[in-house]
Amino acid sequence: MPTIVSHSSSRSDLRISTIGKEMAVWESEFPPPELRLPSLAITSPSGYSESPAYRRRLILRRIGQIGSSFALAMTTAMALAAALMLGGCAWQPAELPPGQVEVPTRAVAPQTSLGDRAAEIALQQVGTPYRYGGQTPSGFDCSGLVHYAYGQAGRSVPRTTGALWSRTRPVPRDQLRTGDLLFFSIDGKMQHVGLYVGDGRFAHAPSSGRTVTVESLSADFYRQAFLRGGRLH
């Protein structure tokens, strides 16, 4: 009986090989786009010749760029998570409303003023988790952040919010300077402090489950909760 040889297998192998070559050519001509996030680096040919206010604006601008870059990705991820959830969503509001998340890293120029240095150091801690009693980059509470920022800037200040209130002289809102402290009433009593970084904004460690962030003093919550500014003697 004559032997029947099937060529179907060889034809399939040839077709697969041809498709593979065509895909390789396509990928070489149309490579997938890369996701690039804005750099946090702040470079300048003049080193520290810029004013402190200019450097802070650069840091805050990086914060806005990072927020814009992640906004679309976060919106997509949240929508997908919501679609996959089978049960209800349990949410417990934090003590303070959420703000922005930014992680600038910047060396501090020694020739700047004490308040400018403290503000820059506080901005460098953005993204650090809140930790009750914390006063190091592993975690901060509100007064711990102020204590650390001023300590690193070269001045020892009180550790608690109440002691900081007593150590500072009152400053009206329209006379705030970079490095001044901001005191807020939470639940009817003074128990929160932030560090003014200029341009109507301040850095602070909000509450448990949150991170060090930058907020606007004009936001409804903080505008209503604001008690006074304070300048260290």
Calculate the CA 23 to chain-centre distance.
Answer: 41
- pLDDT surpassing 70 at residue 93: no
**Structural domain contains residue 5:** no
**Structural domain contains residue 87:** no
Number of structural domains the chain divides into:
1
Count Cβ neighbours within 10 Å for each residue of 38-56 and write b for 16 or more, e otherwise: eeeeeeeeeeeeeebeebb
Identify the top-confidence range among 12-26, 80-94, 137-151: 137-151
Point out the least confidently predicted range of 24-33, 157-166, 191-200: 24-33
| pLDDT tens digits for range 148-189 | 999 999 999 999 999 999 999 999 999 999 999 999 999 999
**Structural domain contains residue 141:** yes
Active-site residue flag, 192? yes
> Residue 68 burial (CB < 10 Å; 0-12/13-18/19+)?
exposed
**Structural domain contains residue 31:** no
**pLDDT for 135:** 97
The residue range of the domain holding 190 is 52-72+95-232
**pLDDT for 50:** 59
Which residue, chain included where needed, has tokens 């996030």?
Answer: 37
Q: Report the predicted TM-score, pTM, of the whole model to 2 decimal places.
A: 0.60
81 against 109, higher pLDDT: 109
Q: How much is the average pLDDT of 46-65?
A: 62
Residue 174 gets which letter from DSSP?
Answer: G
- pLDDT surpassing 90 at residue 14: no
Give me the catalytic one of 7, 89, 204, 233.
Answer: 204
Which residue, chain included where needed, has tokens 């680096």?
Answer: 41
Of the pLDDT bands very low, low, confident and very high (cuts 50, 70, 90), residue 95 is low
CA angle 133, 139, 144 (to 5 degrees): 45
Give me the catalytic one of 7, 89, 147, 192.
Answer: 192
Active-site residue flag, 89? no
**Structural domain contains residue 148:** yes
**pLDDT for 163:** 97
- pLDDT surpassing 80 at residue 126: yes
Give me the catalytic one of 89, 142, 147, 233.
Answer: 142
Residue 10's H or E segment, with its range, is helix 8-29
- pLDDT surpassing 50 at residue 84: no
Domain CATH number, residue 184: 3.90.1720.10
Active-site residue flag, 233? no
CB 196 within 8 A of CB 190: no
**Structural domain contains residue 206:** yes
Of the pLDDT bands very low, low, confident and very high (cuts 50, 70, 90), residue 138 is very high
Quote the CA–CA distance of 189 and 204 in Å, as a whole number: 18
**pLDDT for 177:** 97
Write the DSSP string, 46-66: TTT-S-HHHHHHHHHHHHHHH
Quote the CA–CA distance of 143 and 191 in Å, as a whole number: 9
Quote the CA–CA distance of 207 and 95 in Å, as a whole number: 6
- pLDDT surpassing 70 at residue 61: no
**pLDDT for 183:** 98
**Structural domain contains residue 1:** no
**Structural domain contains residue 125:** yes
